[in-house]
Structure 1
Amino acid sequence: MTDHAHDLACVRDATDRLLRAVARLDNASLAEPSRLPGWTRGHVLAHLARNADALVNALEGRPMYASAAARDADIEDGAARPLDVQLADLRESADRFRAAGDAPADWTRTVELRNGVTDAAARLPFRRWAEVELHHVDLGAGYELEDVPAEFLERETGFLTQRFSGNPDVPATRITDGTRTWDTGRAADEPEVTVSGPAAELVGWLAGRRDGSRLTARGGALPKLPPL
């Protein structure tokens, strides 16, 4: 069972790490490329702020975004803002998400996300935690997947393998960090390939942040994963 209160606390800790890191940047560095193709660091920060507000919308029964075009426009419009404005927006949007998470609610209810996706309300704090951790890494400002909490790596591996589970374009794949195992890909009695490696490398590959060159594939080639 998902412990939303625990995950909300993890979001707060991850956000504090992010804010401290962003405060060490300057205006010029915000205009530099992030690790996400086509996005500067400013784009990443604008997205993080708007994602917090979008998840508040979902928790309160509203559409996450007015439209896909509006989402993209908000990120583009916010990307070039100076550091002090970006930081204030990150803090204030994080506070709004915290307030929504602290409000009395039925956490077993189903909420609607983007593109018709639905999920239990209790899982939204973890989704926000993933946004903060992965995009902190995407800034390319000294925070790596090896720096994120081990609990997050384990749970994000489970989340992403579940996301690819049943996908006919992904071979039946067993994933292991040497201690735990997860199965993903198309249905099969036995895995077609087993992928092993450190937890950070597994998450990097599953999340499209690393090419998997430091992983070991047995039984076949390293599967090519669809974009998230």
Structure 2
Amino acid sequence: MIDDAHDLACVRAATERLLSAAAGLDNASLAEPSRLPGWSRGHVLAHLARNADALVNVLEGRPMYADAATRDADIERDAPRPPAVQLDDVRESAERFRRTAEAPADRSRTVELRNGVTDTAARVPFRRWAEVELHHVDLGTGYELEDLPAEFTERETDFLTERFAKHPDVPATVLVSEAGHTWMTGGGAAGGPVTVEGPAAELLGWLAGRRDGSALTVRGGALPGLPPL
């Protein structure tokens, strides 16, 4: 069962970790490339702020973004801002999201995200938690996939394997972590089953497009290619 109050507390803790790390960045550091192709660290922080506002839109029944071009233009506009402005925006937008997510509402209702994707309102805080944690890693300031909370790593792996289940481009795949946790995904493409084994952080990194899977052990075929998130 989804506990959105718990997830909101996790979002808040993750946001504070990210803000503490980003507080050490100056103008030159923000302009440096992040781990996301084509994005500086400033782009990552701008995206996090605008994503918080976009999820407020989702919870209040509006389109997440006006359109893809507007989303991209807003990130480009905000990316070059000075560090203090960036951090204030991330902090203030996070607070707007928290207030909206905590407001009395039917949390079982269906909400619409980007590209026609739907979910329950109760799972929106977890989606925000994923944005904050993974983009903290993307900043490249020393926070790694291995530093993610164990609960988050397991739940995000659950989420992503569910997302790729029956995907027409992914063969049947079994993921096995070193701790013995097992997930099934894919199955929509010919081939398999392929077994992919490794540390939980490496499995998540591969699923989330943050690592190439070279540290994983693959049995029964080649490492499947995954579609972009």
The TM-score bracket by the shorter chain reads over 0.9
Counterpart Cα distance in 1 of 2:100 and 2:126: 14
Q: CA deviation at 1:26?
A: 0.8
Off by >2 Å, runs of 4+ in structure 1? none
After superposition, the C-alpha distances for 1:70-127 in whole angstroms (9 at most, x for unaligned) are 0000000000000010001001000001101111111000001111111000110000
Q: Read off the aligned partner of 2:193 and give its amino acid letter.
A: E
**Residue in 2 aligned with 1:220?**
221
Which amino acid is 1:210 matched to? Answer: R
Secondary structure in structure 2 of the residue aligned to 1:220: coil
Instruction: Tell whether the 8 Å contact from 1:31 to 1:42 is kept in structure 2 after alignment.
Output: yes
Aligned match of 2:176: 176
**SS at structure 2 position matched to 1:192:** strand
Partner of 1:137: 137
Where 1:43 maps in the other structure, the secondary structure is helix
Q: Give yes or no for contact 2:176–2:197 (8 Å, CA) kept in 1.
A: yes
Gaps of 5+ in 1: none
- How far did 1:131 drift? 0.2
Please tell me the residue identity of whatever aligns with 2:62. R
What one-letter code is carried by the residue in structure 2 that aligns with 1:192? P
1:202 match: 203
- Does the Cα contact within 8 Å between 2:170 and 2:188 map onto a contact in 1? no
Percent of pairs with identical residues:
77
Q: Is the 8 A contact 1:177 1:199 kept in 2?
A: yes
- 1: CA distance between counterparts of 2:111 and 2:167? 24
After TM superposition, give the deviation of residue 168 of structure 1 in Å.
Answer: 1.8
Q: How far is the alpha carbon of 1:217 from its aligned partner?
A: 0.5
SS of alignment partner, residue 194 of structure 1: strand
Alignment partner, residue 98 of structure 1:
98
Question: 1:156-195 maps to which residues of 2 (within 5 A)?
Answer: 156-178=156-178, 179-187=180-188, 191-195=192-196
Q: Give the aligned residue type for 1:208.
A: G
Count of equivalent residues:
227
The whole-number CA distance in structure 2 between the counterparts of 1:111 and 1:4 is 15
Corresponding position of 2:46: 46
State whether residues 174 and 191 of structure 1, in contact with CA within 8 Å, keep that contact through their aligned partners in structure 2. Answer: no
The whole-number CA distance in structure 2 between the counterparts of 1:45 and 1:212 is 26
Contact 1:2–1:123 (CA under 8 A) maintained in structure 2: yes
- Structure 2 length normalisation: TM-score? 0.97
Does 1:78 pair with 2:81? no
Contact residue 173 and residue 195 of structure 2 kept, 8 A: yes
Q: Could you tell me how far 1:208 is from its partner in structure 2? A: 0.4
| 1:35-80, Cα deviation, whole Å (9 max, x unpaired) | 0000000000000000000001100111111111100000000000
Q: Is residue 2:15 matched to residue 1:15?
A: yes
1:153 positional shift? 0.4
Which structure 2 residue ranges, 5 or more long, are not aligned?
none
Alignment match, 1:154: 154
The aligned amino acid for 1:195 is: V
User: How far 1:187 moved relative to its partner?
Assistant: 4.9
Counterpart amino acid of residue 184 in structure 1: T
Q: How far apart, CA to CA, are the structure 2 residues paired with 1:166 and 1:154? A: 20
Structure-1 separation of matches of 2:110 and 2:32: 39
Tell me the C-alpha RMSD between the 2 structures: 1.2
